[in-house]
Amino acid sequence: MSNADTPTVKLLINGEFVESKTSEWRNVINPATQEVLARVPFATDDEIEAAVASAKEAFKTWRKTGIGTRARIFLKYQQLIRENMKELAAILTAEQGKTLADAEGDIFRGLEVVEHAASIGNLQLGELANNVATGVDTYTLLQPLGVCAGITPFNFPAMIPLWMFPMAIVTGNTFVLKPSEQDPMVTMRLTELALEAGIPAGVLNVVHGGPDAVNAICDHKDIKAVSFVGSTKVGTHVYNRASQAGKRAQCMMGAKNHAIVMPDANKDQTLNALAGSAFGAAGQRCMAVSVAVLVGEARDWVPELAEKAKTLKVSAGAEDGTDVGPLISRSALERVNGLIQKGADEGAELVLDGRNPTVPGYEEGNFVGPTIFNGVTADMTIYQEEIFGPVLCVMHAETMEEAIEIINANPNGNGTAIFTRSGAAARRFQEDIDVGQVGINVPIPVPVPIFSFTGSRGSKLGDLGPYGKQVILFYTQTKTVTARWFDEDEVATGVNTTIRLK
C-alpha cells in the first residue's frame, strides 16, 4: 500500500477532525504482521498552538456549565463505550498486539473511570463551617484550573487516556491529549465517541507527535496541569520541565514489581497468578509482576512454574486462544532479546528461553515467548532494568523479612504482592512494605476508581494520583471564602485592628 492509499490519523481541534499540514509522519504498524495500518502526523507548532487556543477559549463557557450537564455527558459516554466495545477492542488489538480479551480489559478499566466521572456531583463538593465567628461562615470551592494536558503511553492506549481527560473535563477543565504515536487509532475512536456523547467543541483536543510535542505541552504558558504515564526517563523530564514552567504535574513512571511467594500459599493459584501477571500483555504493563521472590520451600516451585508458562500460546492477539501477543515494535523486540542474553551472560539460570518462538502464519511478528530466569541477584542488569517484556526474574529468600528487604531496597514503588494463607504474614507485609499499591493474593493490585492509583518512590513524581479522590484535587484549585453579611439595622462595633474575627 502506497502512502497515498494509507489512511491518516487526524488531529482534533475545536471539535473538528482535521488533516495535519505537517511534513513529518510515522507509520502505525500491526506488531503481529508488520502491516502498515495508518500514518500518524507529528503536529506542527501552529497546530499545537491552535489546539491549546481552542481549549483556552472553550474554558470560558465550559467552566460555568452545570455540574449535572457535565455528569450526563459522561453517563452517555460510558453507554457509547459499552455499545462499541468489540470495535474498540479490535482496533486496539490490531495496532498494539494485545489479545482481544485483554484489549477489552484495557477498555473496561478505563470505562470504570468514565463511570466514576459521572459521579462528579458528589466528588466536587466543597466544605462549609457555619458561624466560625459571630455571623461569619467559611466555605471552600473546588474550581477548575483551565487548560490541562495528558501524555499517554503505547501499552494502554484506551485505559490511560480514559484515566485522564474524563476526570479533567468533568471537573470543568478543558483538555489537550497527546496519545502515543505508536498506537493512536483506538484513542481517536474514543474521542469520536466523546464528541458524540456531547463534549462541546474545544473542550477536548488531540495532537500527535514525539518529543517536540511533549516539550511544547510542558512549556506552553496557557496549560495549567500536565498528566503523564510512561517511562521513568521521559516522566522525569516531563515533571521537571512542566514544574519549572509553573504547572502542576503528575507522572506515573517505570516499575520493578515484586511478588513474594510464601511456602504456605496455594500452589496452583499462585503459579497461575504469576504466569498471568508476568506474561500477560507480553509483559508490557507497568504493573506486571517482573520479579518473584520465593521464600523457603517455595523455592522448589520453579520447575512447575516453567511448565505452567509453557502452556501459554504465543500468537497474534486476534487469534483464538492466544495468551501472549507480540511486542509493540521491532526495537522493543531487539531490546528484550538483548536483555535476555545479558541475563544469561551475567550468570542467571535461563530456565525457560522464549526467544524466537515459532508462530505459524505470523513469521514477521515481534514475538517473545514466556521467559524465566532463576537465581537472579540484585546486581544483574535484568533485575536493575525494567525489561517490559514477558520475562520473569526469580529470586530466593530464606524468610519473609529478607524478601521485604529486597523489595524495599529497590528504587521503584509501583506495585507489589504477597501470596500466603497467613493473615499475620499478610498484615506484616502490608505494614512493612514501602510500595504504593499492595496486593494480597492479588498479583496486579490496580485499584478501582473510587480509590486512587498510588504508586510511590521512583515510580511516581507528584503528590496526587491520576484518578479517584486524589485527581479531583489535582484538577481543581481550592478557593476558601470567609463571608459575613450585616442586617441593615445592625449597629457598627467600631474599628477592629486585630487579626481576630469577632
Residues acting as catalytic residues: 286
Mention every residue, 6+ apart, whose C-beta is less than 8 A from residue 393.
Answer: 290, 291, 292, 343, 348, 373, 376, 380, 382, 383
In sequence order, what are the residues at sequence separation of 6 or more whose Cβ sits closer than 8 angstroms to the Cβ of residue 388? 155, 283, 284, 332, 335, 336
Radius of gyration of the chain (CA): 25
Single-letter amino acid code for the residue at 441: N
Grid cell at residue 48: 499545537
Question: Distance between CA 317 and CA 323 in Å, rounded?
Answer: 8
Q: In whole angstroms, what is the distance from residue 314 CA to residue 311 CA? A: 9
- Name the nearest CA neighbour of 255 among 280, 289, 228: 289
Amino acid letter, residue 136: V
- Cα(386)–Cα(231) distance, rounded to whole angstroms? 9
**Contact by Cβ (8 Å): 234, 118:** no
Amino acid at 113: V
Contact 259, 277 (CB under 8 A): yes
Residue located via cell numbers 482496533 = 91
Helix 423-432 vs helix 400-409: angle between axes, to the nearest 10 degrees? 30
Which positions ≥6 away from 431 have C-beta within 8 Å?
A: none
Q: Contact 236/218 with Cβ under 8 angstroms?
A: no
**Rounded distance, CA 92 to CA 485, Å?**
58
CA–CA separation, 362 vs 352, rounded Å? 22
Element of type H or E holding 438: strand 437-440
Phi, psi of 50, deg, nearest 5: -65, -40
- For residues 153 and 438, what is the distance between their CA atoms, to the nearest angstrom? 23
Nearest CA-CA partner of 30 in 110, 101, 90? 90
Under a CB-based contact definition with an 8 Å cutoff, are residues 415 and 436 in contact?
yes
